[in-house]
Amino acid sequence: MGVLRTVLPLGLLLVAPLAMAADPLQIPALTMTSGANGQQEYSVNLQILLIMTALSFIPAFVMLMTSFTRIIIVFSILRQALGLQQTPSNQLLTGMALFLTMFIMAPVFDKVNQQALQPYLSEQLSAQDAVARAEGPIKDFMLAQTRQSDLELFMRLSKRTDIASADQAPLTILVPAFVTSELKTAFQIGFMIFIPFLIIDLVVASVLMAMGMMMLSPLIISLPFKIMLFVLVDGWALIIGTLAGSFGGV
């Protein structure tokens, strides 16, 4: 049920342009009717088809519209700072990043479920209204993490003059601005992580140079010291707590 609550609103959000552009008259088995208020309602078969099609876009959604980008980049930089090439493995880092993303995004998904998915399933909302309501919490999350300068950059590049405020920015502008901000924030956190391990490398290299052991790689000697430091300061809890806190309690 938890997966349904997450996938269905995301599917509605991602396939909205496809649904609006589809021509059901070309598919006799799929019908479209007009409601009393002028809104167009698509048949259940067509909605299921669009939702199944949207499943292929879920990986892109997870990477570009959630906290996943910042988390996986910080984890990768941490592994490089420690000097470990394949430990933890890519699969383990990705799994950790996914579950931490689910934890951070849980309040956002709960809002989507309450405001869009449940009313849609109970037939209180049309598909178009559910999509519009599902966009709200997701856009609020991205706007809270997006720098104003990045948003203004993509507004300027798009040459859109009809956007009066950041809240009116469409996803085509908000998503690249959000990703740009996430990349910058992730590298800032990664820089702070690198400093203590870099100091250890410099100290070990200086000691080896003073002892005349220039043929011995400093990385081999510094690696156990970096691992010991990371364990002593409870590094994983510190990193994960910092990442979760960096999103401001969404």
Domain residues of the chain, as ranges? Answer: 58-191+236-247
DSSP letter string over 148-187? HHHHHHHHHHHT-----SGGG--HHHHHHHHHHHHHHHHH
Q: Is 22 helix (H, G, I), strand (E, B) or coil?
A: coil
In this structure, what token pair is assigned to residue 5?
Answer: 């609550």
pLDDT in tens, 120-143: 777 777 777 777 788 888 888 888
pLDDT in tens, 1-30: 444 454 444 454 444 444 444 444 444 444
pLDDT (0 to 100) of residue 16: 46
Asked whether 179 and 198 are in contact (CB, 8 A), the reply is no
Q: Is 89 helix (H, G, I), strand (E, B) or coil?
A: coil
Asked whether 177 and 154 are in contact (CB, 8 A), the reply is yes
Q: Is the dihedral of CA 139, 151, 93, 232 positive or negative?
A: negative
Residue 162 has pLDDT above 50, yes or no: yes
Q: Is the dihedral of CA 77, 82, 88, 90 positive or negative?
A: positive
Q: Is 34 helix (H, G, I), strand (E, B) or coil?
A: strand
pLDDT (0 to 100) of residue 188: 92
Q: What is the mean pLDDT of residues 233-244?
A: 88
Higher pLDDT, 188 or 39: 188
pLDDT (0 to 100) of residue 72: 92
What mean pLDDT value characterizes the chain? 77
pLDDT in tens, 35-92: 555 555 555 566 677 677 767 777 777 778 888 989 999 999 998 888 887 788 888 9
pTM: 0.72
**Length in residues, the chain:** 250
Q: Is 32 helix (H, G, I), strand (E, B) or coil?
A: strand
Q: What is the mean pLDDT of residues 146-164?
A: 83
